[in-house]
Amino acid sequence: MGKPSLLKEVLKWFIGRPVTIQYPYEETPIENRFRGRHFADLNKCTGCSLCAIECPADAITMEKLPEEVSVPKNPRRIYPVISYGKCVYCYRCVTVCPFDAYITTNDYKITGPARLYSRDYSLQSVGGGAQ
Amino acid sequence: MAVDKVIEIPVSLEVPIGPQHPALHEPVMLKVYAEGEEVVKVEVNTGYNHRGIEKLVEKNSFYRNIFIVSRVCGICNIVHSNAYVRAVEQVMGIEPPGRAKYLRVLAMELERIHSHMIINAIMAEVLGYDTLFMYIMRDREKVMKAKEILTGNRVLGDYLMVGGVRRDLSEVDRERIKDVLIKLEPEVRKYIRVFEEDETIGKRLRGVGVVKPKDVTLHGLVGPTARGSGVNIDARREGYDAYGEVPFNIIVRSDMDSWSRMMVRWHETIESINMCKYVLENLPSDGPAVPDETKLPRKFPVGEAFTRVEAPRGELTYYVMSDGRQNPWRVKIRTPSFNNIINSGFSYIGYTIADVPVILTSYDPCISCMERAIVTDLRRGEKKYVRFKDLNRGLK
Task: Show residues of chain A in contact with B197, CB under 8 Å.
Answer: 1-2
Q: What is the dihedral of CA B115, B121, B126, B132, to 10 degrees?
A: 180
Percent with pLDDT over 90 in chain A: 19
- The predicted pLDDT at position B375 comes to 53
SS3 readout for A57-90: CCCEEEEECCCCCCCCCCCCCEEEEEECCCCCCC
Reply yes or no on whether the pLDDT at A1 is more than 70.
no
Q: Is the pLDDT of residue B37 over 90?
A: no
Check residue B374 and give its pLDDT: 52
In degrees rounded to 5, what are phi and psi of residue B321? -125, 130
- Name the band, by pLDDT with cuts 50, 70 and 90, for residue A130: low
Number of CB pairs, chain A paired with chain B, less than 8 A apart: 58
Residue B89 vs residue B18, higher pLDDT: B89
Q: Residue B363: its pLDDT value, please? A: 87
- pLDDT for res B53: 86
Local confidence band at B354 (pLDDT 50, 70, 90 cut-offs): confident
Is the CB of residue B51 less than 8 Å away from at least one CB of chain A? no
Q: What is the pLDDT of residues B203-224, one digit of tens each?
A: 889 989 899 999 899 988 999 9
Q: How many CB atoms lie within 10 A of CB A58?
A: 13
**Average pLDDT of chain A, as a whole number:** 85
Please judge whether A34 and B293 are an interchain contact, meaning their C-beta atoms are less than 8 angstroms apart. Answer: no
Rounded Cα distance between B268 and B226, Å, is 14
What pLDDT, on the 0 to 100 scale, is given for residue B251? 92
Q: How far is CA B215 from CA B229, B256, B312, B346, in A?
A: 9, 11, 21, 9
CB contact under 8 A, B158 and A90: yes
- Tell me the mean pLDDT in the region B352-364: 87
pLDDT of A111 reads 74
**What pLDDT, in 10s, does the model give residues B266-301?**
999 999 999 999 999 999 988 888 888 888 888 889
| Closest chain B CA to residue A3 | B198
Burial B250-285 (b: 16+ CB within 10 A, else e): ebbbebbbbbbbbbbbbbbbbbbbbbbbbbbeebee
Q: Do A33 and B167 touch (CB under 8 A)?
A: yes
What pLDDT, on the 0 to 100 scale, is given for residue B385?
Answer: 58
Average pLDDT, chain B: 86
Residues in chain B: 396
Write down the pLDDT at residue A120: 84
Q: Of B30-39, B156-165, B183-192, B264-273, where does mean pLDDT reach its minimum? A: B30-39
**Is the pLDDT higher at B383 or at B329?**
B329
Whether B60 contacts B38, CB under 8 Å: no
Q: Is the pLDDT of residue A9 over 90?
A: no
CATH of domain B53-375: 1.10.645.10
Q: What is the pLDDT of residue B81?
A: 92
Helix/strand/coil (H, E, C) string of chain B?
A: CCCCCCCCCCCCEEEEECCCCCCCCCCCEEEEEEECCEEEEEEEECCCCCCCHHHHHHCCCHHHHHHHHHCCCCCCHHHHHHHHHHHHHHHHCCCCCHHHHHHHHHHHHHHHHHHHHHHHHHHHHHCCCHHHHHHHHHHHHHHHHHHHHHHCCCCCCCCEECCEECCCCCHHHHHHHHHHHHHHHHHHHHHHHHHHHCHHHHHHHCCCCCCCHHHHHHHCCCCHHHHCCCCCCCHHHHCCCCCCCCCCCCCCCCCCCHHHHHHHHHHHHHHHHHHHHHHHHCCCCCCCCCCCHHHCCCCCCEEEEEEEEEECCEEEEEEEEEECCCCCCEEEEECHHHHHHHHHHHHHCCCEHHHHHHHHHHCCCCHHHCCCCEEEECCCCEEEECCHHHHHHCCC
- A contacts of B193 (beta carbons < 8 Å): 1
Which comes out higher in pLDDT, residue A9 or B347?
A: B347
Give the model's confidence band at B54: pLDDT under 50 very low, under 70 low, under 90 confident, else very high: confident
pLDDT at A5: 66
- What distance in Å separates the CA atoms of residue B342 and residue B221, rounded to the nearest whole number? 10
Number of helices and strands in chain A (H, E): 4, 4
Asked whether the predicted pLDDT for residue B9 surpasses 80, the reply is: no
pLDDT band at B393 (very low <50, low <70, confident <90, very high): low
| pLDDT tens profile B226-273 | 999 999 999 998 888 889 999 999 999 998 999 999 999 999 999 999
Which candidate from A56, A89, A95 shows the least CB-CB separation from B166?
A95
Higher pLDDT, B141 or A12: B141
On the question of pLDDT at A52 being above 60, the answer is yes
Q: Give burial (CB, 10 Å; 0-12/13-18/19+) of B338.
A: buried
Mean pLDDT of B44-60: 85
Q: Does B194 touch chain A (CB under 8 A)?
A: yes
More confident position, A3 or A68: A68
Q: What angle do CA B270, B276, B280 make, to 5 degrees?
A: 150
pLDDT band at B371 (very low <50, low <70, confident <90, very high): low
User: In chain B, where are the structural domains located?
Assistant: 53-375
Sheet holding B302-311, edge to edge: B302-311, B314-323, B330-334
Give residue B365's pLDDT: 80
Q: Is pLDDT at B391 greater than 70 in this prediction?
A: no
Percent of chain B's residues with pLDDT above 90: 41
Kindly state the average pLDDT of the residues B124-150: 91
Q: Which amino acid is at B395?
A: L
Q: Are B264 and B224 in contact (CB under 8 A)?
A: yes
Distance of CA B234 to the CA centre of its chain: 13
**Chain A residues inside the 8 Å CB shell of B60:** 56
Q: Compute the nearest-CA separation of B243 from chain A (Å).
A: 26
Which pLDDT score is estimated for B4? 77
Q: Average of pLDDT values for A59-66?
A: 91
Domains of chain A plus CATH, in order, are 30-124 (3.30.70.3270)
- Could you tell me the pLDDT band of residue A129, with boundaries at 50, 70 and 90? low
B387 CB within 8 Å of a chain A CB: no
